[in-house]
Amino acid sequence: MKTPLVFAIGAALLAQDLPSIKVEVDVVSVLTTVRDKKGGLVANLQKDDFTVLEDGKPQTIKYFTKETDLPLTIGMLVDVSGSQRNLIEIERNAASQFFSQVLRKKDEAFLISFGEETELLQDYTGSPRLLKEGLNQLRVSSGVSGMHPGPVPTIGQPRGTVLYDAIYLAATEKLRSEVGRKVIVVITDGVDQGSRLTRNEAVEAAQKADAVIYSIDYSDPRAYGPFGGGGGEGELRKMSDETGGHVYKVDRKHTLEDVFKELQDEMRSQYSIGYTPVNGVKDGSYRHVDVRLANKDLKAQARKGYYAIKPESR
């Protein structure tokens, strides 16, 4: 059943401060992907191969796990704006196949579509069948329509593609209270036209939810007319880089099915690195994290930092 999520944006705008995660930061967990010079995944490293710095200071790695089989929570966000009209059927079929292949016991996923508004098409489930049914509900959402009433300013005014709002909602409304590995997979051309929240606010929400953003840059050149369009890869890269994810580009030689296979391999080839910060003060500040490797020919892909959230007052 479709569930409108636009109300949460209105609540966020009415609040003075963005909400913070409830879990206090005692152990910082950093999901890390390692690639070689050719971009290939490296999945045979050990704890001693890694060094972690927080705000430039070395940290002691207390927990180290290879993430090949640990539970995974996936939030899939699909762009259904007008520019994606000709791609929706391909996205539907490829995503259905992806869920059938990637979901294992204890894994869960949810499905959100976004265009001029954001809708939850399928809540948490481990069932590829239910996710396929949700994917079958994907419909183009563009132009002016009667959006759901609520406290959001300018709710009746036209918007385009609320990419940043969708990421923010997936992080805060769905992933923030979950534990374990959490990823947001967003299929889009990367163009935002009308979000009430900024890219930085979307990234901050993902960081506070400990969620990694994987971006699939998928656009239809025919949708933009003779002057071209799309061009949102840079924005997608900034969001993915900050959270430790990756941008996958779909083109004629690299199909969406190929991308989903690579994404599946990456999510099953990660390392989870945990440490207790030397700076134990939970003052709400942003802490920069740098994961380094003993082998300089390898590159670590991990989130750039986290927020040391203040404990909630009782």
pLDDT band at 120 (very low <50, low <70, confident <90, very high): very high
pLDDT band at 176 (very low <50, low <70, confident <90, very high): very high
**Of residues 66, 52, 25, the one with CA closest to residue 302:** 52
Residue 5: the pLDDT is 59
Residue 204: the pLDDT is 96
Instruction: Give the domain CATH number at 219.
Output: 3.40.50.410
Q: How many domains does the chain have?
A: 1
The region of weakest confidence among 74-78, 106-110, 194-198, 231-235 is 231-235
* 4 pLDDT more than 70: no
Cβ–Cβ < 8 Å for 181, 272: yes
Stretch 96-112: mean pLDDT, rounded?
A: 94
* 206 pLDDT more than 50: yes
Residue 229: the pLDDT is 55
Query: Residue 275 is part of which domain span?
Result: 1-314
Top pLDDT among 34 and 151 is at 34
Residue 232: the pLDDT is 82
Could you report the per-residue pLDDT of 247-258, keeping only the tens digit for each?
Answer: 999 998 999 999
Stretch 176-192: mean pLDDT, rounded?
A: 92
Q: What pTM was estimated for this model as a whole? A: 0.85
Residue 311: the pLDDT is 64
* 26 pLDDT more than 90: no
Top pLDDT among 220 and 165 is at 165
The region of weakest confidence among 6-10, 135-139, 215-219 is 6-10
Q: DSSP per residue over the chain, as a string?
A: --EE-HHHHHHHHHSSS----SS--SSEEEEEEEE-TTS-B-----GGGEEEEETTEEE-EEEEEE-SSS-EEEEEEEE-SGGGGGGHHHHHHHHHHHHHHH--TT-EEEEEEESSSEEEEEEEES-HHHHHHHHTT-----S---PPPSS-TTTTS-----HHHHHHHIIIIIITT--SEEEEEEEE-S---S-SS-HHHHHHHHHHTTEEEEEEE---GGGG-TT-----HHHHHHHHHHHT--EEE-BTTB-HHHHHHHHHHHHTS-EEEEE--S-----S-EEEEEEEESSTTSEEEE-SEEE-PPPPP-
Q: Average model confidence (pLDDT) for the chain? A: 85
Stretch 41-54: mean pLDDT, rounded?
A: 96
Stretch 93-104: mean pLDDT, rounded?
A: 94
Residue 156: the pLDDT is 44
* 185 pLDDT more than 90: yes
